[in-house]
Amino acid sequence: MKKMMTKMALGAMALTLLAAPSVWAENIKVGAILAVTGPASFLGGPEARTLEMMTETINAKGGINGNKIDLIIKDSAGSPEKAVSFAKQLIDEEKVLAIIGPSSSGETMQIKQIAQDGKTPLLSCAAAEVIVNPVASFVFKTPQKDSDAVKMIYNELKTKGLANVAVLADNTGFGKAGAEQLAKIAPEFGIKIVENEVYDTKDSDLTAPVAKIKANKEVQAVINWSVAPAQSIVLKNIRQTGWTVPVFQSHGFGNIKFAQAAGAAAEGVIFPAGRLLIAADLPADHPQKALLLDYTKNYESKYQGELVSTFGGHAYDAMLMLEEAIKVGGNDREKVRTALEGLQKLPGTAGIFSMSATDHNGLTIDAFQMMTVKNGKFVAYPAQ
């Protein structure tokens, strides 16, 4: 009996060794908390696939300075509670070097302090400005600032001579932060917000609120600020009520699927976004062009039937920065943090990043380009 026990114990040991070959390699553990499923899966899906693709590429090259990357993706399903427990797990148990994500602003805000206290670099793929303002020394974000997106939109409204707008925002962290920025910056541009509605990401028909804002004859333009599929429903419902008002979207519209979902109703919508979506149309000497085309080609050939989105791009930028920082700082959280803060003129998908101790986003308003939808495709605005 005792002999059998020993055998079984040996067997079990052998199994654990087989299951964990990483024991021998000098691997760098990178965590990722992404909303791969759930209502924010539009963000997390492309982000997770991008990270997997990049990790494969990096490891195929032999890793960073000879150290391979161990990517641990946790699916938060968009829930801040899950993001919190995954963050603690990754920091305390897995002892990862850095965390990429979360996908949404609401989740990021919940774990901002946890990453800071755990002295683990966090590279958020979410857009809200509050993530890096006020700056927490370990927290970075890769998407453009929402205040810059607001300024782009207001500039365009001013050019068109429109002043009274209706704001529709979803009830995610991104939607809330956007609505706040819209309200805060409006006076600077002489814009008046005359209608304001918040919708749920799960709403499936928004005819009623659209009817309400349409009934207000003062409304000259609609700004629809969301990262959820529901934003496409707003577009359809606006056109279905026979309303031809100009519609502006946020940079949360940067997934061609949103435009496809709204079909003909998406035509002519104007929104600011990173240049990834129109990479092919950029001038040949644009510093981002080669990288954008490269990412597009690799992603679309690896994941057949799926087009790149700016969201996957945010994860791309996070991994890119981390790769650069690891080259300098190795497998050391504090050194990598310092390296991240020192990144200068690094072209990414969202723009050209130049970090500093006071700017943990590193992008300026130039990272944005106004775009529109023409014949079901994203093109630079004004369309040719």
Alpha carbons 273 and 370: distance in angstroms, whole number: 6
The CB-of-75 to other proteins minimum distance in angstroms stands at 10
State yes or no: residue 311 binds other proteins (CB under 8 A). no
Segment 122 to 181, residues that bind other proteins, using CB under 8 A:
171
Decide: 122 and 140 in contact? Cβ < 8 Å: yes
State yes or no: residue 14 binds other proteins (CB under 8 A). no
State yes or no: residue 241 binds other proteins (CB under 8 A). yes
Question: How many other C-beta atoms lie within 10 A of the C-beta of residue 98?
Answer: 29
Instruction: Choose which of 29, 37, 137, 164 interacts with other proteins (CB under 8 A).
Output: 37
Alpha carbons 219 and 246: distance in angstroms, whole number: 10
Instruction: Choose which of 38, 173, 178, 272 interacts with other proteins (CB under 8 A).
Output: 38
Pick the closest to residue 231 from 208, 258, 212 (CA basis).
258
Say which DSSP state 383 is in. Answer: P
State yes or no: residue 10 binds other proteins (CB under 8 A). no
Quick one: which segment of 20-28, 151-159, 257-265, 324-332 binds other proteins (CB under 8 A)?
Answer: 257-265
Strands 369-374 and 352-353: unpaired
State yes or no: residue 208 binds other proteins (CB under 8 A). yes
State yes or no: residue 229 binds other proteins (CB under 8 A). yes
State yes or no: residue 247 binds other proteins (CB under 8 A). no
Decide: 78 and 35 in contact? Cβ < 8 Å: yes
State yes or no: residue 224 binds other proteins (CB under 8 A). no
Q: How would you class 83 by CB atoms within 10 Å of its CB: exposed for 0-12, middle for 13-18, buried for 19 or more?
A: buried
Say which DSSP state 61 is in. Answer: T
Q: How would you class 345 by CB atoms within 10 Å of its CB: exposed for 0-12, middle for 13-18, buried for 19 or more?
A: exposed
Is 206 or 221 the residue whose CB approaches other proteins more closely? Answer: 206
State yes or no: residue 217 binds other proteins (CB under 8 A). no
The CB-of-33 to other proteins minimum distance in angstroms stands at 16
Q: Contact positions toward other proteins, by CB under 8 A? A: 36-39, 41-42, 44-45, 171, 197-200, 202-209, 211-212, 215, 229, 232-233, 235-236, 239-242, 257, 261-266
